[in-house]
Amino acid sequence: MSTNPSIPTSKKIDKSLPIVEKYKRYVSQSQAFKYFPIVIAKAKNSRIWDLDGNEYIDFLASAASYNIGHSNDAVVKAVKEHLDKFIHYCLYLYHEPVAELSELLVKITPGDYEKKVIIGLSGGDANDTALKAALAYTRRPRIASFTYSYHGTTALGIAVGGSFDPDLRSTIPFHNVYFLEYPDTYRCVNNIDDPVQCGEEYLSMIDTFFKKKYAGESFAAMIIEPVQGDGGVLVPPENFMRGVRRITQEYGMVLIDDEVQTGMGRTGKLFAIEHFNITPDVIVLGKALGGGMPVSAVVGRREIVESTPPQSFFATSAAHASSVAGAIAAVKYVLENKLHEVAAEKGRYLARRLGELKEKYEVVGDVRGLGLMLGVDVVRDKKSKQPDRTLALKIIWRAWEKGLIMMTYGKYGNVLRIAPPLTIPYEDMDRAVEIIDESIKDAVEGRVPDTVVNYMTAWK
């Protein structure tokens, strides 16, 4: 049992607590949400262990980063072999791994136009790069983004991030960002139930915005997530996405497809945009691209990504040679094992199992997503669809105590985020669903104390 009576749990976490306290003392709280008082000590495939020896099924995969599982043998081997040669040298010299990864990405990303690649460190800096390239290419001042979007935490990323507090966005000097409504088919505007009609309604608002309020020709780019993750796993109707492509082509905007969270097989396709049968001008990759190593990529039309002079997107550690070696191994692992097809199959299975909880509990309003990018919408009741953030937090706290790692997110902070490694065994998925079932029951029946909500630093 924990020796710290202020933490509402009987779970053994004594070895983790000193590190947690040191973290709180020295590390800025602005860096990340912190849900549970544990310190990770080891991770392999879909399991993680903390310093106290507690074992967990990982339904978060480090924010959808470990699509190929934690400590994947192919990635570890590739990085170790490269470290024996050299760690990194800045891009003033050529790197063989950078050329190989770029060629690979050009071949597998959608679009039969001539492409070039810019390799960076993280999804956030890659989105920043894509936006700056679009601004430079078009010489236009405005950017269109979407409500409740998330595109990283660079200055430009915050400026276009619809999930950030407007007060924070106002501190960023770039104010030429305009937010459009992203489709929410569960809580569609005007209470529309039909997904196609819902898509048309949101498209109509966007058409009106560009035709009557602002000239579409003044916009450099539209940046969009093909499935909106941090908004609460919102899957737009296909007609909406096709309409978005039509609008960007009509006004000559660069369509930037942010696949940082959805890419590399997560949604049942190599890239989520493939679900909608459209081709963007630029694709942004991060998270799972490196198999755990810090690396990102902007893959786009040659004329767009080469619209600035050399060193415009230079960073000393960008295209880090050792990370890129890991990324090559990670991409090849996804392709060779057809993990996008695996994700589609496992996603259907997991969605069905979670759907059983929707039938069982009044507080499970919706189960949605694509592949192994799923969300469980926790509500007061099915009729009102009123979000219940507090109950969602209680559910994930109890799930953690029982050996399952999840988090909450979404525009109301009430969605259970489910994004396990694509390599997760079926038995782990089954046990995870059992834990969620037990945790919902405990939370609904009042066996999870209210004080757990105060302990967690959580989304929204």
CA distance 187 to 190: 9
Q: Do 73-336 and 17-64+338-455 fall under one CATH topology?
A: no
pTM here is 0.97
Fold annotation for 73-336: Aspartate Aminotransferase; domain 2 (3.40.640)
Domain boundaries, the chain: 17-64+338-455, 73-336
Q: What is the DSSP string of 215-281?
A: -GGGEEEEEE-SSBTTTTSB---HHHHHHHHHHHHHHT-EEEEE-TTTTTTTTSSSSGGGGGT---S
Contact 25, 15 (CB under 8 A): no
Low-confidence stretches of the chain (pLDDT < 70) are: 1-6
The CATH label, of 1.20.120.1730, 3.90.1150.10, 3.40.50.300, 3.30.360.10, for the domain at 17-64+338-455 is 3.90.1150.10
What Rg, from alpha-carbon coordinates, does the chain have?
22
CA distance 361 to 284: 38
Q: What is the pLDDT of residue 191?
A: 94
Amino acid sitting at position 379 = V
Q: What is the pLDDT of residue 459?
A: 79
> What three-state secondary structure class fits 388?
coil
Q: What is the pLDDT of residue 227?
A: 98
> What three-state secondary structure class fits 310?
coil
Q: What is the pLDDT of residue 77?
A: 98
CA distance 156 to 171: 11
